[in-house]
């Protein structure tokens, strides 16, 4: 998935969480974040802290790839 904004990242996180049948509260506890953070993240709040976002992505098994301009999207650095 090629995400362009915080709303798309939030939607991907929400979809994966629901696929795993995990509540927002349980995800927050697993990641060591507050429930409010998970709610804001899933809504696409642009000021969410990147470190916490990475914790949530890892907990859900979502991989993040970063590509430099001019590279093939599938060939970016894996984080």
Structural domains of the chain, count: 1
Domain holding 20: CATH number?
Answer: 1.10.260.40
Q: Which residues form the domain of 49?
A: 6-78
Q: What are the Cα distances from residue 48, in Å, to 21, 25, 40, 63?
A: 23, 17, 8, 18
> In the structure encoding, which two tokens stand for residue 31, read together?
């990641």
Q: What is the pLDDT along the chain (79 residues), one digit of tens a residue?
A: 678 899 999 999 999 999 999 999 999 999 999 999 999 999 999 999 999 999 999 999 999 888 888 766 555 444 5
How far, in Å, CA of 12 to CA of 62, rounded?
Answer: 9
| Residue 23, domain member (yes or no) | yes
Q: pTM for this one?
A: 0.81
| Residue 18, domain member (yes or no) | yes
Q: Can you list the positions of beta strands (E) in the chain?
A: 65-66, 77-78
1: Cβ contacts below 8 Å, ≥ 6 apart: 8, 12
Residue 67's φ and ψ, nearest 5 degrees, are: -115, 140
| Residue 1, domain member (yes or no) | no
């Amino acid at each position: 998935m090629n995400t362009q904004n915080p709303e798309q990242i939030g939607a991907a996180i929400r979809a994966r969480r629901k696929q795993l049948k995990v509540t927002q509260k349980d995800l927050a506890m697993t990641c060591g974040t507050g429930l409010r953070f998970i709610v804001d993240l899933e809504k696409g709040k642009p000021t969410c802290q990147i470190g916490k976002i990475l914790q949530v992505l890892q907990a859900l098994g979502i991989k993040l790839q970063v590509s430099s301009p001019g590279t093939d999207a599938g060939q970016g650095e894996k984080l």
